[in-house]
Amino acid sequence: MKNGGTPKRGEVNYWNNGNIPWLKTGEINNNVIIKSEEYITELGLKKSSAKLLPVNTIVMALYGKGTAARIGLLKLEATTNQACCAMICNDFNKTLFLYLFLLFNQKEIENLASGSVQQNLSKDLIANLKIVVPPNSIIENLPFKEIYNKITNNCFEIEKLTKIRDILLPKLMNGEIDVSNIEV
């Protein structure tokens, strides 16, 4: 388990032209994560407590009412801010089992948050959750992998189609592309 970190916002060399995805808790919404809103540079990664997380890492938001305990499944290498806890398993089926366990028990986990102004979870609290884990033979035979591979492929396809739409729509609207002769 790892917490994230935020490079200094005022240091442009940590942010400008960055190519390392950096996630905020608002991007974690019980979802498969295929992109981020912000990026940091190699220098920003090196000079902060941010850590590069591998594909198939589970990330959990730690702070905020309605935000704490939300989870995401990384489908890209990424970093996160310090309001996230990353969980790395050594096997994809075990990752998916943990992801679904956390999702199923999310309300109970959120209720463990404490704080008078803002509800907070901690890495230690998450690390000490009691999880009943079935034998490997059962986990290996569950259809998690196929289902989440399909979900991931669909997310990437939606992202690709959205980009194509965003390129074509303005060209259609200004008449740069004429579709009047196309039969449907």
Please report, for the chain, the start and end positions of each structural domain, with discontinuous segments joined by +.
2-173
Our CA angle for 178, 181, 184, nearest 5°, is 110
**Helix residue spans in the chain (DSSP H):** 42-46, 92-104, 106-111, 123-127, 136-141, 144-173
CATH of span 2-173: 3.90.220.20
Q: Which residues pair with 179 in a beta bridge?
A: none
Question: DSSP assignment of 7-23, as one string?
Answer: --TT-GGGTTT--EEEE
β partners of residue 135: none
pLDDT at 2: 93
Residues 93-123 have pLDDT tens digits of: 999 999 999 999 999 999 888 876 777 899 9
How confident is the model over 115-152, as pLDDT tens digits? Answer: 767 778 999 999 999 998 889 899 888 888 888 889 99
- The mean pLDDT of 19-40, rounded to a whole number, is 95
Q: pTM score, two decimals? A: 0.85
